[in-house]
Structure 1
């Protein structure tokens, strides 16, 4: 019986490795043609290839939007597969938090405009800096803001409140959307949990799962507070990592 259990456990381990290898390989293979599609779509918008009529320009916009959504999905799946495989490593650096917020607000501007939603940022004049992974921290913020915009009524606003608690960076993203029922709150961080169907844009339900994974990799925590009809607030705490200055610079 012991030998049978050992063999079964080994088979499951190998199957899991095979799954992760397959997902990573397919994700990498998908990204290359998608990048080409996006690149040529942007090229068609330039004056160098000649003018487009109204219908052609509309089709190009649809291709660009759909390609970008698909590339985001592929990248999300690849990130989660890397986390599952235990091979994701954070690239720590010293991050100026005020610069980070400026960068995030610029990157999310088009998404907010598309949804007809405004962003209100509340933060001290100087937040200082922390040692964390800049790319992953930026992804956390963008995923939360995009999710909030998706479920916010047109013409409303979402808020990003930031503060420091000791060496920790704490931020909360709030929306005035439909909220989440108590029985759904426990599952919002599960993969492929799309929740309510009242969002402006559908998705695979990976955004909050990625947020949870990246916050956990930083040894932080994330909580969610929501009530039906009263909106949703997601709070993240990211501790600063104590590493030698040379390692942080690398």
Structure 2
């Protein structure tokens, strides 16, 4: 069972995505603007493929083989559109709009989304939210995206080793110094461990060891979104337990 107590007296040592060289201009630099424009153009062309393939699929005279082939074309174009959006986020091109957010209300509204990856993988998941938390300064949609990337990773890792998972949301002074003025989110799963020589790699794009259905962009997206919202992101893995630390600035 995962302990509900945080290791304050003996803090964990986290690895951070510093090797991604995230500068102040990550979301507004030339390459990000180029990538944003290219993915926009690509999506426009894909929309044409999807539209015409849908029209062809409505043709009742289409034989079974033609129907199957056209369905594959449409599905491929939809998958490319999804990949395009993930590449945009991984490249630091996501549009972020920061605002003050009441933590407890926010988590109570969207916690069902956070539980979905664990239900899908048949993994036990607990969510602990401290009371009287201060408001935080984030983009609500992008914070959800960031946390879901980590939660999906935790659910799959726990499933492989018969583990379970826990998300803890704490106020300033519990997982980080009170003077930092941050709300901390710790996502822990048992049943798996990331090798020490792999910890430095997990935030890099396409560095995952999963099958071909996984693109290896999830944690890169999380790192980029964290950078854009001034969120600290770290990972620790030892004793068959992996913990991601997400430290969010107070509004």
Give the TM bin, normalised by the shorter chain.
0.5 to 0.7
In terms of fraction of residues, the more helix-rich structure is 1
Structure 2 counterparts to residues 1-250 of structure 1, below 5 A: 20-27=36-43, 29-30=45-46, 72-81=82-91, 83=92, 88-153=94-159, 156-165=163-172, 166=178, 167-195=181-209, 197=210, 202-227=213-238, 230-241=240-251
Q: What is the deviation of 1:220?
A: 2.3
Count of residue correspondences:
196
Q: State the match for 2:26 in structure 1.
A: none
Contact 2:89–2:225, Cα closer than 8 Å, also in 1:
no
In structure 2, stretches of 5+ residues that fail to align are 1-28, 54-74, 173-177
Query: TM-score, with normalisation over the residues of structure 2?
Result: 0.65
Q: What is the deviation of 1:110?
A: 3.3
Q: For residue 120 of structure 2, give the secondary structure of its aligned residue in structure 1.
A: helix
Q: What is the deviation of 1:230?
A: 0.6
2:149 and 2:182 map into 1 onto residues whose CA distance is 20
1:173-218: CA deviation from partner (whole Å, max 9, x where unpaired): 11113211011000110011113x4x8x941111111111111112
Query: Which of structures 1 and 2 has the larger relative contact order (alpha carbons within 8 angstroms, sep 6+)?
Result: 2
Q: For residue 108 of structure 1, give the secondary structure of its aligned residue in structure 2.
A: helix
Q: What is the deviation of 1:221?
A: 1.4
Q: What is the deviation of 1:25?
A: 2.3
1:31 and 1:102 map into 2 onto residues whose CA distance is 36
In structure 1, stretches of 5+ residues that fail to align are 1-12, 38-64, 242-250
2:156 and 2:105 map into 1 onto residues whose CA distance is 25
1:225 and 1:143 map into 2 onto residues whose CA distance is 16
Q: What is the deviation of 1:28?
A: 5.4
Change (3 A) 1:14 1:94: closer
Contact 1:90–1:133, Cα closer than 8 Å, also in 2:
yes
RMSD over equivalenced CA pairs, Å:
3.6
Q: What is the deviation of 1:16?
A: 8.0
Q: What is the deviation of 1:20?
A: 5.0
Change (3 A) 1:71 1:123: farther
